[in-house]
Amino acid sequence: MATENGKSLLEIRDLNLHFQTTQGVVQAVDKVDFDLGYNDAIVILGESGCGKTSLARAILRLLPRNVDRYDGKVRLGDMELMGMGDEEFRKKVRWVRMSMVPQAAMNALNPVLKVGDQVAEPLMIHAGISKENALSHASDMFRRVGVPVDFLNRYAFELSGGMRQRVAIAMALVTTPEVVLLDEPTSALDVLTQTNIFNLLKRVKQEFDVSFILITHDIATSSELAERVAVMYAGQIVEVSDAGNFFEAPLHPYSQKLMASVPRLRGTQDLEFIPGKPPSLIGLKAGCRFAPRCSFRFDKCDQDPPITYKGDRLVRCWLHAEG
C-alpha cells in the first residue's frame, strides 16, 4: 500500500453506523478499521446484508434518517472528516475528493435528463463550473470511459446496461476525486460487459491518481481490481490482506470458507458451502460472530476476538491472537 510520509490516503478506525428500527438497533457497521493507500484498490467482500453499502454510506456520510449511532475516525489526507460540519463536508469532501457509484446506479439514472447533462451536473454543483465548460468536461469523460460522445444527448433508456454503467462511472470520475467507492458495479452485467468495465477501471487507475474501494460479493471478479481485500462479516471487518496472500492463503476461517465456495472453470477441487446463516445484526451477543458456523471454534470464541496485525495483514480471530 502506497503511503505519503508514512500515512495512508484514507484511514478508518473504529467506525460505527447503527440504525434504529422497531425490532431494535441494527449494528450494520461495527468497529470497522481499514486503510486505503494512494492509487490503491481495496475490495470489501461480504455476503448480502453484512453491511457493505452501510459502510460506504458511513464513509461518504450519506445517512438515512434512522441513525442510532454514527462515530469513529475517518481521515482523508490531512483532513479529519468526523469532526467536520455537514456543510463543510458537502463543500470539501463528497463528490469533490470522494465520490461513489451507488449500487444499481445504472438503473437509477434520471430518466428525463440527458445523460450528458447528468455527468456535467456534479461539476456545476460541486465545482461551480459553467454549464458549457462542464459539458465539455463531460464529453472528455465519455471518451475516457468508452461511451460514444454523441450519446451525451441521449436518455438513459436509450442505452444498454453496460453503457449506462459507464455513464454512472463517468459521473463519479468527472470531478477528479481521490477516492471512488464502487458499490457492486458489475453484478448485474454480463461477463463480457463486466470485463469491459474492469478494463476501464484498470485504465482509469493507471491514468489518474485515484484509489478505489470496490464493494462486492463476487470473489472471482473482485480479483480483477483488488490490490488488497477486506472481508466483512456481520457488520465487522474480519480480515484485511493483500490480494496475493488473500487469494492464495486467507487467514480467517470465514475467508477460507468463502474461497472454497468459489466455482472454478478448471481444476478438480470440490466446492464447499458454509452451513447455517449469518446472525441477525439486531441484538448481537458478545463473542466471535462467525463462531456458530466455524469448524475451528473453541472456548475463547465466546469472547470478542481482538484485532491482530500480521505484518500488513489484519485478522479478527482468536486462532491468530497473540499471547
Partner 1 sequence: MENIQKTDQNQVNTMDNASKNNGTPLLSLKNLHVWFELKRWGFAHAGYVRAVDDVSFDLHRGDAIAIVGESGSGKTSLMKTILGINRPIKGDIFFDGQSLSELNPRQLREFRSKIGFVQQDPYGALPPFMSVRRILSEPLIINGIKDPDEREERIRKVMSEVKLNPVDDFIEKFPHMLSGGQQQRVVIARAMILGPKLIVADEPVSMLDASVRVEILKLLENLQHSHDLAVIYITHDLSTVRYFSERIFVMYAGQLIEKSSVDGILSNHLHPYTDALLKGTSEPDANNAKIFKEVPPGEPPSLVNPPKGCRFHPRCAKMIDGLCNVEDPPEFEPAEPGHLTFCWLYKQNGHES
Ligand X SMILES: Nc1ncnc2c1ncn2[C@@H]1O[C@H](COP(=O)(O)OP(=O)(O)OP(=O)(O)O)[C@@H](O)[C@H]1O
Residues binding ligand X (CB under 6 A):
19, 21, 26, 28, 46, 48-54, 64, 66, 103, 217, 281
Provide, rounded to whole angstroms, the least separation between the CB of residue 228 and partner 1: 10
Question: Beta strands of 22-103 (E only): which ranges?
Answer: 24-36, 41-45, 67-76, 79-80, 98-101
The number of helices, as runs of H, and strands, as runs of E, in the chain is 9, 12
Residues that bind Mg ion (CB under 5 A): 52-53, 103
Residue 21 site contact among Mg ion, ligand X, partner 1, none (CB < 5 to 8 Å, cut-off depends on kind): ligand X
Which does residue 227 touch among Mg ion, partner 1, ligand X, none (CB within 5 to 8 A, set by kind)?
A: partner 1
* Phi, then psi, of 233 in degrees rounded to 5: -140, 125
We find the least distance from the C-beta atom of residue 135 to ligand X, in angstroms, to be: 32
Q: Look at the chain and count its residues.
A: 323
Residue 77's φ and ψ, nearest 5 degrees, are 55, -120
* Closer residue to partner 1, CB minimum distance, 246 or 318: 246
Among residues 64 and 148, whose Cβ is nearest to ligand X? 64
- Residue 70 in contact with residue 63, Cβ under 8 Å? yes
Per CB under 8 A, residues contacting partner 1 are 41, 47-48, 160-162, 189-196, 198-199, 202-203, 217-227, 242-244, 246-248, 257-259, 261-266, 271-274, 277
Residues in CB range of 106: below 8 A, 6 or more apart: 161, 164, 165, 167, 168, 188
Identify which of residues 145 and 240 has a Cβ nearer to ligand X in the complex: 240
Q: Which three cell numbers stand for residue 250?
A: 486467507
Partner whose binding site includes residue 222, from partner 1, Mg ion, ligand X, none (CB under 5 to 8 Å by kind)? partner 1
Rounded least distance, CB 67 to ligand X, Å? 8
- 139 vs 241 by CB, closer to partner 1: 241
Q: Which does 198 bind (CB under 5 to 8 A by kind): ligand X, Mg ion, partner 1, none?
A: partner 1
Element (H, E) at 136: helix 131-145
Contact 27, 281 (CB under 8 A): yes
